[in-house]
Structure formats: C-alpha cells, structure tokens
A and B are shown apart, each in its own frame.
Chain A
C-alpha cells in the first residue's frame, strides 16, 4: 500500500509538471516531427526510389524506438541531475521506501507519457509518409514491455553515475548516438548486439511492423533471449545503482552540486 501511495504521488507530480512545462513538451514533439520530416524527404530525394517505401518504414520504426530509448535510458540520469540542481536529491534519500523506488515511479509515469506521445507520433509519421505499418498490439506489447525493463536497467546504471558525478549532461547528450546505434543497426548486420539492451526487441518489433510477423512467428529462443536480456539488465542496473549510492554516501557527494 505504501508503494502504491509513492507511485501515485510521483505520477501526479509528473502530470502536474508536464502541464506546467507544456510549451517545453510541445516544442519537443515539434522538433521530433521536424527531424522526421527531414529524414523522410531525404529518402524521397536522394534515396533509391525502388526501396523508398521500405526505407521510410525502417526510419519510422527506428526513429520511434530511438525516441523511446532516449527518454527511458537517459530518463533517471536526467532526473538525478535535475534533483541535484534543484537541491532536493537529499530529501529524496530521506524516504524510507528508498530513492530507487521514487525514481522507478517517476520513470514509469514518464514512460507512459512518452509512449502516448510515441503512438501519436507513429500515426502522424505514417500519415505524413502515406505508408502503413502492422500495429499488432498483442505481438508488440509483451516485447515492448520486456524492452522497457532492460532500458530501465540501463537507466539505473546511468543514474548511478549521476549520483556520484552529478554533471553528466554531456555524457547523456553523447549517449543519444549510442542509443541511435542500438536502434538503427539491424541484428542481421551485427549479431553480437543480441546481448546489448533493446537490440533484440527492436529487431523483433521491426519484423512485426514491417514484415507482418505475428507473435507465433518467433521461437522460444527469441522470447527467452528477450526475457533473459530484460532480467539481466534490470538486475545489473539496480546493483550498479545501489553500489553508486553507497560510494556517494561514503565520499559525501550525495547532495553536492
């Protein structure tokens, strides 16, 4: 029950701040759309006309998942950095339920908001491009949830670094390109990336959305790999975060800006 109350207030806080920073949210969505338009027209103008539709479909799926990965994997890191800037990080650490649960609640609520934005953007992108992808919710949703779990693990690892070093904004900016690599590079090109976070999931979603796969078209090995990936990264993320917390408390840098 206590956890539920914690989740409720953090979700409420995210919604309140989303409303209060509405111009910021709108400008972010517009920027996203303008970049998509740039890529879409780039394919139309300089790309091979024979594969233009397929390329556009790839761009839509990859771009949508890049957006989601940036929001989730860098999310807790940004949250920690903002808390340090505001000076409230130490108050977060006074919760008997643990700072990690507060950050988890915040990232879950912001992820829900991002997924709604992502869905709207997906349809707007498809409408703009005049191409329709296979939106098979039953097949996509479990894969998406497992992907998000592994992303949360990475997010906690980055947050751990933020707890110690604080000013990791530059790293978070650069990490966008790492996330782009993870979402844009197909697994067939780089099979070793199967063990990296989200790559397997994005690959499976691509198969569903572009090549009309259903959930039965994947093997047990595919699902097992995805589940293992999610568990492993989440557990590793929490472990790294706890270790970093301890280091910050030993070094006395928890609330320092």
Chain B
C-alpha cells in the first residue's frame, strides 16, 4: 500500500517565553503512514504530539527534516499539500460561533474552493449521519460541547481530503458523547476509507478506533506498532498470583528487587501479587521462592490489560522499540 504520509528525521525546537534555552519538542522523528491506516498518536502532555500534528498540517515549519503528504513536500508546496489534509484541532478552535451549523459547513468548504452545489449532497449526508438535522440552523454557540465537536468533525469531513488529523477529538466530552463520537469515528473509518491520525489521551478511542498506535515521549517515538501487538506483548507477561498468606517485609523486598511487581491485599485477606515476567525463567523462580517460603498459592491468572496500562508502561520505560519488533 502506498505511503500517504512520510516523515523523515523531523526536528523542532522552541524558545519558550522568557527562557534563554530552546526546548526540543520533537527530536528527529521518522514515520510513515499508509493509505487507509487509522493511527493513534499518544503521549503524555508535552510529549510533542500537537507539535508533530501541526508540522504534518503545515501549520508549523520544522527546523530539520522532510514531511511528504501524498509525495508532496509540505515545506516547498504547502498549499498543494493542503488539498489532501483537513484537521480538527484541540478545543473549540474550529468553528465560527456566530454562524449556524450549515453556514459553518458551507463556509469552510467554500474556503477550499468547493461550491454549495458541489457539497450539498455530502452536507445533507453528514448532517444526518451526525444527528445534527434538528440543529442545522442553530448558531454554534447555542450547541453543547459534544454537538460542537461533531460539527467540527463534519467540517473536516466535508473537505473530502485523503488525510484527516483529529487532535483530542473527545477531550472534555462526557462519557455518553465521547462514546457517540467514538462510534461515529468507527463508522467513518469503515465508510470513507480515509487515512486518519488521532492524537488522544482517550484510551478507548485508541482501542476501538485505531489499528496502529504511535507513542511519543520527550519528542521521540517510543513505540510504533499495531494495537493488538502491544496489548499481546504486555498481556503475555503479566500474571496475578493469589496467595493465601501475608508476605513478610523481607519477602516483599526480595520480590520488588527482582521482579516488576505490585503487591496488594484483597477483601478476604489474601495477598495479590502482580508480576511482569521478562523471561520465562522468572516464572519458575517465583514459584520456587513461594514453595521455599511455604506460601500457599490459591491461583495464578494471566492478567488482562487495557490500553491505558500498556500506554503507562511504555511511557514509564517498560518497553523498547526492539521488543515490539520481535513480537
């Protein structure tokens, strides 16, 4: 499949207000995205996600490196590249609040050179698809945050571009609206065959919508893999031992020193020992230790992980790029 986005060794540094030294927001990132891929861009606050998205959208010029959108160098032919990109930026920064839903859709499509006639059918479809029919003639400032976000996504879709960037599409939404947006995104992905890059902190969005995830931390890509691979990688190494005893301080200290563990007690006084096994020998070492200390084992479960845990482990450093490639 052809590459829609190709980023090579992109770097960006800023000088913060009042600071003498520059902050390196993105430190030599390389990335390719194929046509039709849905990529989740994750990372803690200040990791460089928004900087990366803005560079891919041509809103920010990198210090070094190249960004190609459908083979077009965004630095050299920015406007030509814009034909292929639309974006929903974080927050409420995408719409005119004193224009109605329909007026916003028409306006932003017109700014891309589309006539009302050209977009009419698509606009009607999007209004129905996003359940905006009752609100189509209402001004955006009268809509709820969730409705506004739906209009912003509809505005990005009406542009009919190959690539859509969504920066925190569910930020600040209640659970119900967040679920609705997620469902809509999934439907769009199935229907429209677009390449979508979603920057988010909302792990259900990643797990339900994205097929690939890129995790950025301190301006570098620290993980780039399919969502199921990352889940599998951590799932296969995490075990929960339920022990019918209370551990001594020495035993806890030994386990914490030699294994990545979390130790807690459940309601019935059992000890829950969660262990991340790096090598299979470790599993036998723990069994041997428990046997030697005569600690009765009630049961051993392989723990299920959600993407939030995977993300936290990766960001905290319990993962290397090479590990993913070996899976």
Contacts and interface: CB of A to CB of B under 8 A. Distances in A.
Contact of A9 (B51, B97, B111): B111
A25 interface: no
B110 A16 contact: no
A34 to B, nearest CB: 27
Given A6-B110, A6-B113, A16-B99, A90 B89 contact: yes
A30 B82 CA distance: 43
Contacts of A98: 79
A8 interface: yes
Interface stretch (A194-202, A219-227, A246-254): A246-254
Given A13-B107, A16-B99, A1 B113 contact: yes
B106 interface: yes
Interface in A1-35: 1-3, 5-6, 8-10, 12-13, 16-17, 20-21
Given A9-B110, A90-B59, A95-B112, A252 B14 contact: yes
B42 interface: no
B112 A88 contact: no
Interface in A60-101: 86-88, 90-98
A246 B61 contact: yes
Given A9-B106, A246-B61, A3 B113 contact: yes
A230 interface: no
Contacts of B14: 251-252
A90 B12 CA distance: 19
A91 B91 CA distance: 13
B108 A96 contact: no
Interface string B110-138: 11111100000000000000000000000
Contacts of B114: 2, 5
Nearest to B89: A90
A246 B92 CA distance: 25
A173 B97 CA distance: 26
A93 B91 CA distance: 17
Contact of A94 (B57, B96, B106, B115): B57
Interface in B58-100: 58-61, 79-80, 82-83, 85-87, 89, 91-99
Contacts of B111: 6, 9-10, 92, 95, 97, 102
Given A9-B107, A9-B110, A91-B93, A96 B60 contact: no
Tier of interface size on chain A = 20 to 34
Nearest to B86: A94
A93 B60 CA distance: 11
Contacts of B12: 252
Interface string A231-257: 000000000000000100111101100
B103 interface: yes
A94 B110 contact: no
A94 B107 contact: no
A159 B115 CA distance: 27
Given A5-B110, A16-B103, A87 B93 contact: yes
Nearest to B103: A16
B99 A88 contact: no
A38 to B, nearest CB: 33
A98 B87 CA distance: 16
Interface in B32-63: 51, 54, 57-61
Contact of A255 (B79, B85, B89, B106): B89
Contacts of B58: 93, 249
Contacts of B54: 90, 252
Contact of B112 (A17, A90, A96): A96
Nearest to A21: B98
A97 B61 contact: no
9 A-B pairs with the lowest CB-CB distances in the bound complex, closest first? A9-B110, A2-B113, A87-B93, A96-B82, A96-B83, A95-B111, A249-B61, A5-B115, A250-B61
Given A17-B98, A90-B59, A249-B61, 17 more contacts: A1-B113, A3-B113, A13-B107, A87-B91, A87-B94, A91-B87, A91-B89, A91-B108, A93-B59, A95-B111, A95-B112, A96-B83, A97-B111, A97-B112, A249-B60, A252-B12, A255-B59
28 contacts: A1-B113, A1-B115, A2-B112, A3-B113, A5-B113, A8-B115, A9-B109, A9-B110, A9-B111, A12-B106, A13-B96, A86-B96, A87-B91, A87-B93, A87-B94, A88-B93, A90-B87, A91-B93, A91-B108, A93-B58, A96-B83, A246-B61, A249-B60, A250-B61, A252-B12, A252-B51, A252-B60, A255-B59
Interface of B: 12, 14, 51, 54, 57-61, 79-80, 82-83, 85-87, 89, 91-99, 103, 106-115
Interface of A: 1-3, 5-6, 8-10, 12-13, 16-17, 20-21, 86-88, 90-98, 102, 246, 249-252, 254-255
